[in-house]
Chains A and B, each alone.
Chain A
Amino acid sequence: VTSIREPLSPSDQLADPIWAIGRFHTSAGLELWPSRASERIAASNTATDVLSSHGVESGASIALVSLLAEAVQFVPIADAIERLAAVPMPVDATGRDAGRLASFMTQFTLAAVIGVGGDTVTELKGIEAAVEHLGNVPLVFARSDTHQELRSAGLNPYAVDIVGPTLALECCERAGGHLLGLWVPAAEDGSIVLRSESHSSVHTDVAAEIRTEACGCGIDSSRLVIQ
């Protein structure tokens, strides 16, 4: 255990406070991650731009499928939804909560579902017509573990994936997920390493192709195509 209180020292908290401690997977296991306010704001800015590229409108109902422990990655999406005056409708990203998403899809006119993954889709298949309902949602952002399955069902989802302490979220161009925030990715030993002004290197367990050429949407963050 290293320097337990250091991340939350008062002077540090005043300069750029830690707003939450989340976690992400690495090849060595789960990494706990204290996230700073500047990281949240930067990620929210990119997320707002990406959702705007899809034409998300004020008043839209958006199902946000995530785990509580994915707060560091998904709160910036909720921030972006709020900035766009849309309304997030949270669903746990566990198979056992898939029925909630099915219920939302039948009762509400959802503008988007963001974050649906393999556990949820596996359970949705057991719920009559639920996957077909997903096909009626104009915008579906799916995690890479279920992309192929949804395509086989005739859907064409956009990508959303956790990459260490942030997300890669695909814009309307379908040219890879924009990395949220101020992270610069590099491929090292087959997986993505993230760097920023504050962090020399954050190793993830994500294998991806990095795209740095200009995107047609005008957002200038790096993009990742998850492999």
Chain B
Amino acid sequence: MAVESGSVESGMSSALSSVNLPPLTSRYLEPEIETMSRSQLRALQEDRLLELLPYAYSRSALLQDSWKTAGVHPDDIESIGDFEEQAPILDKDDVRAFRDRYGDPFGGLLCAGPAGLKVLGTTSGTTGDPTPIPQEPIGPLVRGISRDLWEAGARPGDTVLFSMFTFRSGHAIERFEQIGVVPIYLDHSDSPGLILEAAERFRPKIHYVLNNITIAAIADYADQHGIDPAISYGSVNSAMFGGEPMSERSARLLSEWGMRAHEMTSLGDVTASIECAEGAGYHAWEDLVLTEHLDPATGQSAPDGGSGELVVTSLTERAAPLVRYRSGDLVKLTRKMCACGRTHARLKVLGRQSDAVMIDGRSILPIDIWPHIEAVPAVADALFQVIRPQAVCERLTLRVGTGDPADSSVAVDVAESVGAALGVPVDVELVEREALLRLGPPHKIPRVAAS
């Protein structure tokens, strides 16, 4: 189907306007928002939520469907408390089911017509079909990442190495234009030599985004060519790291290359969530996204600092706002003020709820396995998958990428390393590295497979 016509109401656009740049010495791009008191932030969220709900309910077929089923109407919601108590929760499967039932590729989420859309991006598709993420010109993704780039040191006139992919937001020039920085566009498939050449020639402040696979490739290239990446990357103070949890080896290499690592993740497909220089959790921009973290067992709000599943509501997005959308990410979340002075929530990603494998009563996530594969030199780049035919298994089965799958001693070393650390029996299948890399998107591979 073609994109249906509709409109973004002009009165709704105040939250979408461009930012006024602060003094270059300011740590914060939008200080009045980034450091507002929790009570002010809560009031702002509530205003935006109560403005959003009737807008989204009247336009989103999926939202209307699920709220009617739950017997809830936006008129019933007068506060965030009401919302958290009564609003039904949606997940990606609900979106896909709606899409398949009604033949609507947007899964019943689209609220705006072409005039309200900048680009129709899609999720990576790591866990299934790519799902559409319609984006408006200056939406929460642009606003959130602009703040994060500023925190990482980018200022007008600077350059930033930008290596990612196009499917999420196209070439994403707006996030750089917001703060007047110039992106150096590179691909994950570009050779490490070109990356280092670009860094030497154009002296970027930030490399955004790096991942375990690219870092390992740069390290190998540097070793083979007698290059010191710390010199090539001499101007780069910060690395945004995303796609997967940062491995210990990657963290060590970035430190050796003189970069402060800012880990990042997707905040429930609404915007990004990135660590500040304090390294004390990813900041979730709560003026843009209402974040909850719920105990998966009870569905109730988990305590501050505790573990729960991240559930998000997009407060300012008008193209296809997600309302109480279950991300599938297990996080630890706190709303205590960060040492950087920001008051918004911070989170640590523990893994995907669906990635856990239960062995002998223990829940094991890929992040638990990672360092013990890295510890085996032949597979230090930790290209591996957990083979999980069902959620509960008797043994931990790993598929590990290596340059020489015939060398069975590597399998023995991996099994011993992981088994000793986790205390579970381990089986290891070795495959060619390329076989796993082909499973991309390029910045990550699916870490759990059924077979």
Contact = CB atoms under 8 A, between A and B. Distances in A.
Contacts of A90: 119, 121, 166-171
B451 interface: no
B115 A88 contact: no
B442 interface: yes
Given A4-B201, A67-B187, A78 B170 contact: yes
Interface in A6-60: 7-8, 10, 13, 17-23, 30, 32, 34, 58-60
Contacts of A86: 114
Interface string B369-407: 000000000000000000000000000000000000000
Size bracket, chain A contacts:
35 or more
B157 A13 contact: yes
B350 interface: no
Given A78-B171, A96-B441, A108-B2, A87 B182 contact: no
Nearest to B118: A82
16 contacts: A1-B200, A13-B157, A23-B194, A58-B114, A61-B120, A64-B166, A64-B170, A68-B165, A68-B187, A71-B171, A74-B171, A78-B171, A88-B120, A90-B119, A92-B165, A108-B2
A82 B194 CA distance: 31
A21 B190 CA distance: 14
A109 B185 contact: no
A68 B164 contact: yes
A21 to B, nearest CB: 4
B125 A71 contact: no
A94 B171 contact: no
B450 interface: no
B105 to A, nearest CB: 4
A85 B2 contact: no
Instruction: Please indicate which of the listed interface residues A58, A86, A94 has the most CB atoms of chain B within 10 Å of its own CB.
Output: A94
Interface in B105-139: 105, 113-115, 117-122, 125, 129-130
Contacts of B115: 85
A108 B187 CA distance: 27
A105 B391 CA distance: 34
A160 interface: no
Nearest to A57: B2
A148 to B, nearest CB: 24
Interface of B: 1-3, 5, 99, 105, 113-115, 117-122, 125, 129-130, 157, 159, 162-171, 173, 176-177, 182-187, 189-190, 194, 197-198, 200-203, 438, 440-442
Contacts of A134: none
B287 to A, nearest CB: 27
Contact of B185 (A69, A89, A93, A107): A69
A99 interface: yes
A58 B114 CA distance: 8
A5 interface: yes
A90 B165 CA distance: 9
B159 A67 contact: no
A221 interface: no
Contacts, number: 147
A8 B198 contact: no
B2 A96 contact: no
B130 A21 contact: no
Given A8-B182, A68-B162, 4 more contacts: A59-B3, A75-B173, A92-B166, A99-B125
A103 interface: yes
A70 B171 CA distance: 9
A130 interface: no
Nearest to A79: B173
B203 to A, nearest CB: 5
Interface string A104-136: 000111010000000000000000000000000
A100 B198 CA distance: 30
Given A68-B162, A89-B120, A96 B442 contact: yes
A100 B126 CA distance: 12
A87 B115 CA distance: 9
Contact of B120 (A2, A17, A67, A87): A87
Contacts of A8: 157, 159, 182, 202
Q: Which 5 A/B pairs are nearest by Cβ-Cβ distance?
A: A107-B105, A71-B185, A90-B166, A90-B170, A71-B171
Contacts of A88: 119-120, 170
Given A8-B157, A72-B185, A103-B130, A97 B119 contact: no
A107 B2 CA distance: 10
Nearest to B182: A18
B114 A87 contact: yes
A60 B113 CA distance: 11
Given A20-B182, A91-B167, A100-B167, A59 B122 contact: no
A66 interface: yes
B317 to A, nearest CB: 16
A4 B184 CA distance: 14
B157 A32 contact: no
Contacts of B183: 20-21, 71
Nearest to A72: B185
